[in-house]
Structure 1
Amino acid sequence: MLTKNMGQTDRTLRTVIGVVLLILAIVSLSGAWAWLSGLVGVVLLATAATGYCPPYALLGISTRKSHS
């Protein structure tokens, strides 16, 4: 099981940015930019949904408030 390392603000921002990037990929962008925007959007939404960010784990970062 992956330990959550993202706080609510981080997850909310990732969700909003991920949705915007997906909309751009579908509506406005074309070619490689659309694919890149779509891929980044999906990754942001996936990390927001799980609350786990692999680069944060590698760097020892956590934006999640500890629950004592």
Structure 2
Amino acid sequence: MHGAYALAVAGQGEAFFVAGVDYGVDLVSARDAGVNMAVSRLIDVPLANGGMERVFATRRFDREGAPKYT
């Protein structure tokens, strides 16, 4: 996974599975719209407290060879 990615993480108090829901909604929406979705995946990241955070990562298609927008 190289390049720029947008990450979606659960907010404070949200459940572990929220990133998976985001991922699923994006997949279904892209399919229903007839478009190809950018390279995306769920990543489980270990936390310092021994817990786990699930992150939804999707490749930024708008930054190919372009300067970073802020």
Which has the higher relative contact order, 1 or 2, with Cα contacts under 8 A spaced 6 or more apart? 1
TM-score w.r.t. structure 2 length? 0.38
Task: Determine which structure has the larger helix proportion and give its number.
Answer: 1
TM-score w.r.t. structure 1 length? 0.38
Task: Determine which structure has the larger strand proportion and give its number.
Answer: 2
